[in-house]
Amino acid sequence: MIRVFDAFSGIGGFRSAFERVGGFKTVGWYEIDRFAQKSYQALFDTGGEQFYENIRDIDTAGLAEFDLLVGGFPCQRVTCS
Model confidence at 81: pLDDT above 80: no
80 assigned to active site: no
Beta bridge partners of 26: 4
Is the pLDDT higher at 4 or at 78? 4
In the predicted model, what is the mean pLDDT of the chain?
A: 89
**Domain interval for residue 32:** 2-80
* 76 pLDDT tier (thresholds 50, 70, 90): low
Residues 6+ apart with CB under 8 A from 55: 7, 8, 30, 32
* 2 pLDDT tier (thresholds 50, 70, 90): very high
**Residue 40 maps to which CATH number?**
3.40.50.150
Catalytic member of 36, 75, 78, 81: 75
pLDDT tens, residue by residue, 36-70: 999 999 999 999 999 999 888 888 899 999 999 99
Residues 6+ apart with CB under 8 A from 9: 15, 29, 30, 31, 36, 40, 71, 72
Our separate counts of H helices and E strands in the chain read 2, 4
- Edge-first strand order for the sheet with 50-52 is 50-52, 24-30, 2-7, 68-71
Query: What is the total count of domains within the chain?
Result: 1
